[in-house]
Amino acid sequence: MLAAQGEALEMALWSAVRALRERAALYRRIAERAPSARDVSSQALAAEEAAAFEHEATLIQDMVLRQTRAEATTSPR
């Protein structure tokens, strides 16, 4: 049962990574499409949001991968 909960948690974390990366991509598109000079602040804000979402996704991904590697090295074969 504990293994099943761990797998469910890992799946949820990977879903979070995907959702954050999708949101980052959306904000990058918003930043790219912002009308030139008069919307510089909106463009900058969207770019900052994209970077923040990408950073959060990377943090979660790195944590999941570290945990997966740790479990692989300690599990009996």
pLDDT in tens, 9-32: 999 999 999 999 999 999 999 988
Q: What is the pLDDT of residue 17?
A: 98
Region 58-68: mean pLDDT is: 96
* Average per-residue pLDDT for the chain: 90
Report the amino acid identity of residue 66: R
Rg of the Cα atoms in the chain: 18
Give the predicted TM-score (pTM) of the model. Answer: 0.83
CA dihedral 21, 25, 27, 31 (to 10 degrees): 150
Show the 3-state SS of the chain: CHHHHHHHHHHHHHHHHHHHHHHHHHHHHHHHHCCCHHHHHHHHHHHHHHHHHHHHHHHHHHHHHHHHHHHHHHCCC
